[in-house]
Amino acid sequence: MSHPAVSLLADLIRRPSVTPIEDGVLDVVEAFLTPLGFECTRLPFEGDGSYPVDNLFAIRRGNGPHLLFAGHTDVVPPGDVAAWTHDPFSAEIVDGVMWGRGATDMKSGVAAFCGAVANLAANGGLDRGTISLAITNDEEADAVNGTKKIMEWADDRGEKFDFAIVGEPSSFETFGDSIKIGRRGSVSGKLTVVGKQGHAAYPQRANNPMPVIAALTQALYEPLDNGTEHFQPTNLEVTAIDTGNAASNVIPERASLRFNIRFNDTWTGETLLAEIHRRIAAVDARGCAIEFEQIGPVSRCFISQPEGHVAHLSDVMEQANGKRPIMSTIGGTSDARFIAQYCPVVECGLIGATMHQVDERVPVADVERLSDFYATYVASFFDRGTRD
């Protein structure tokens, strides 16, 4: 008999839910959870400069601590479908491997947790605590009308969570070798330097913005810090420099520079932006105008301290694998940053080797293993109570 997590994963992959298109994928999750006693609420959010998004909050109340599982059902586009070995939305299983977009990132995490609660429900194991699931279809793109607003909605109605797991791929080489207890923050910006256009043979009649762009680049690349106890050093990367100038004999009027910073807990968004403005002000503008534009919102840095519930999760993983997981903070941003404001949160999931790639796929045995681990952990979490 097929493991419930595997059957559910196949149903999820067959829904081409490329952000923000939901395509019925949340209906599949809701139909799975409702017979298990979960109260399911659909939460459509829109506005704030982004597209409308459908979300799902499901809760099953019991006597005991409250565990939140968070994940996303949206996926990145498959790219060139002809380049795939198997159709990206077929969920075809070949030699024990399931193929499809979202197989690792992260429909497998959602399916594994749902499969875990199904197995626990069959044994009466869900009555000793409360379980909630916050499932969004807006993680891979703007992340404006998804998890952030689900958490605000839940907080407004008085929901209190003791601990949260985000089912993102967190393992490196083998299942459970790493969990993520934090993420660096992210901020992006654009600098535009406006000078005066002119003929390259008559520079005295123009004011070239390019030397200023070069000086700004050098100033931005000065080290920001040396890292902290749990985080690697903050890094700034210039991602584009452009003049829009197609002629080789014309001094451009303007030049622009775009950059992204991944910052650790040395900084907040406010203090980091203040440092960027200080560096910009220290550059000789050479008579040009320098304009700064922040691109998008700041993604906050967060850390869940490696004690309490975090240490307990590591204990359970060590018992399952015979090896304690590394507590990591590397990688990009995730929706865990929105949850960290309400309770400790970790990312705990599969190996992410093929995520976002052509031929994304996952061994069926890994999905079953993750689901069984979630079930073991939930039971242990309920046994432990609300201690943190």
Q: Flag whether 291 is marked binding.
A: no
pTM of structure: 0.89
| Residue 384 pLDDT class (50, 70, 90 cuts) | confident
pLDDT of 239 reads 97
Indicate the residue type of 377: Y
Q: Flag whether 309 is marked binding.
A: no
> Does residue 85 register a pLDDT over 50?
yes
**Alpha helices (H) in the chain, listed in sequence order:** 4-13, 25-33, 107-122, 147-156, 210-220, 269-281, 308-321, 336-339, 364-384
Q: Flag whether 142 is marked binding.
A: no
**Strand intervals (E) in 167-212:** 178-180, 182-183, 185-194, 198-199
pLDDT of 233 reads 96
Domains in the chain: boundaries? 4-183+301-384, 185-299
The mean pLDDT of 238-259, rounded to a whole number, is 96
Concatenate the DSSP letters of all residues of 218-236 into one string.
Answer: HHHTS------SSSPPPEE
SS3 at position 250: strand
pLDDT of 2 reads 81
Q: Respond yes or no: is residue 388 known to be catalytic.
A: no
Q: Flag whether 222 is marked binding.
A: no
How many CB atoms neighbour CB 386 within 10 A?
13
The mean pLDDT of 245-261, rounded to a whole number, is 96
> Does residue 1 register a pLDDT over 50?
no
Q: Respond yes or no: is residue 74 known to be catalytic.
A: yes
In tens, the pLDDT along 105-160 reads 999 999 999 999 999 999 888 989 999 999 999 999 999 999 999 999 999 999 99
In tens, the pLDDT along 170-183 reads 999 999 999 999 99
pLDDT of 284 reads 97
The one catalytic residue among 11, 22, 139, 162 = 139
| Residue 331 pLDDT class (50, 70, 90 cuts) | confident
Q: What is the DSSP letter of 151?
A: H
How many CB atoms neighbour CB 200 within 10 A?
12
pLDDT of 328 reads 95
pLDDT of 388 reads 64
Give domain 185-299's CATH architecture.
2-Layer Sandwich (3.30)
Looking at every residue in the chain, the average pLDDT score rounds to 96
The one catalytic residue among 74, 162, 253, 360 = 74
Q: Flag whether 230 is marked binding.
A: no
The mean pLDDT of 241-247, rounded to a whole number, is 94
The mean pLDDT of 367-374, rounded to a whole number, is 97
Fold of the domain spanning 4-183+301-384: Aminopeptidase (3.40.630)
- Cis bond upstream, residue 151 (ω within 30): no
N-term to C-term CA, the chain: 38
> Does residue 387 register a pLDDT over 80?
no
Place of tokens 């420099």: 241
pLDDT of 30 reads 98
* CA proximity to 72, closest of 3, 143, 155, 123: 143
| Residue 332 pLDDT class (50, 70, 90 cuts) | confident
| Maximum pairwise Cα distance, the chain | 83
User: Do residues 197 and 260 make contact, with C-beta atoms less than 8 angstroms apart?
Assistant: no
